[in-house]
Amino acid sequence: MSITSVAKAAGVSIATVSRVLNDPHLVNPGTVRRVEEAMRTLNYRAALATERRGRKLEKRGRLKHKTVAFLWTGGRSSATTLTGMDMLQGASAALRMHRVNLIADYVDTEGRLPQAVAAEEVDGVLLHGPEPSAEVCAKLKVLPAVWLLSPGSNQWGDRVRPDHQRLGFDALDCFADRGCKNVVCVTYADNLGRFYSMRAAGFACRAEQRGIACRFIGEGFTQASDSAAKFRAACTLADEFSAMSPRPDGLFVANELGGYLHEQLIRRGLKPMKDFLMIGGDRDFAPQHLEPEPIMVSVHGVELGRLAVDLLLWRLENPEMKLVATLLTPTLVLPPGMT
């Protein structure tokens, strides 16, 4: 019985099964239980460490250049975010364990690739950002590739991303378990594949399952492109929220407007976490000095980087297998004193 069969039975990727076998403390407990149950059902026995040494050496032997590139396809700005730095840190640590070099670079505004990537002197690429031009894609497609997070291509390359729909479920459960009966979700106009749409869909589904009244605001906005647009959107949304009657007792910000909206609500005399519970979005997007501090979201960027390396190395061993998507469940981070 193979690890592929276990992954199929558990409904997870092969990279996730590998992580359960080697670093189970880094995997969501529910996922660990599913994988372990699949192994018991299939009577699968993981190889001992001594039995796996040859495999690891064989894997490293397939790395012709002993080098992997981490590329930001939308320029340098994404590299400066908390999640961007965390993903790079996780990928670097994982590659170091395999004695593989890492090149961190970006696709510039004219679509030029780093020389080592253009010359195919790397064994694979880790990609974050939007899908680049057709010309750049043609050069990248010849290399094993793993996309991180939700942007990028759905037609080529494997993917590692947060399970945003699961986060929507967890956000609603967080409210319902604390007695909320009337909740609001802030999102943008539906855009299939974008993180906020997946979170909002999960939130709505769970609200219906648990019989919680749920309203949505922000669906008339396209995603804000700069700080000025985010400020304007937050002002409008704060007005809409503050005018609601009866006042909602839970506010889930599914997009990146958490910090902006928090400020505007306070300016209108509303106090998050006192007048209503608030899940204020990702730590990447919401300033850490918010007071009162809302519930925040961690997407586990370091682990995303590690999983991307696992998936890339697996792809080098299995070039003919179909595309794989590995999901990692984000975590709600409660403020101090909240249980």
Same fold: 64-156+301-332 with 164-298: yes
| Predicted pLDDT at 1 | 54
Residue 315 phi, psi (nearest 5)? -60, -35
8 three-class SS: helix
Domain ranges of the chain: 3-46, 64-156+301-332, 164-298
Express as a percent the part of the chain with pLDDT over 70.
Answer: 92
pLDDT tier at 288, thresholds 50, 70, 90: low
For 88-115, how does the pLDDT look when each residue is reduced to its tens digit (9 = 90+)? 999 999 999 999 999 999 998 888 999 9
pLDDT tier at 217, thresholds 50, 70, 90: very high
Residues with Cβ within 8 Å of 222's Cβ and at least 6 positions away in sequence, in order, are 188, 189
27 three-class SS: coil
Closest residue by Cα to residue 319 from 141, 164, 184: 141
pLDDT tier at 15, thresholds 50, 70, 90: confident
CB of 261 closer than 8 Å to CB of 237: yes
282 three-class SS: strand
**DSSP state, residue 80:** G
Residue 175 phi, psi (nearest 5)? -70, -50
| Predicted pLDDT at 182 | 97
Q: What is the pTM of this model?
A: 0.80
Least confident interval from 17-26, 200-209, 240-249, 312-321: 17-26
Tokens 């179909």 belong to residue: 322
Least confident interval from 36-40, 95-99, 175-179, 306-310: 36-40
Q: What is the CATH code for 64-156+301-332?
A: 3.40.50.2300
DSSP-derived pairing of the beta strands 182-186 and 331-333: unpaired
Return d(Cα 262, Cα 172) in angstroms, integer.
Answer: 19
* CATH class of the domain whose range is 164-298: alpha beta
| Predicted pLDDT at 46 | 60
Return d(Cα 207, Cα 173) in angstroms, integer.
Answer: 8
| Predicted pLDDT at 18 | 76
For 42-81, how does the pLDDT look when each residue is reduced to its tens digit (9 = 90+)? 877 665 433 444 344 344 447 899 999 999 998 777 777 8
Return d(Cα 335, Cα 187) in angstroms, integer.
Answer: 23
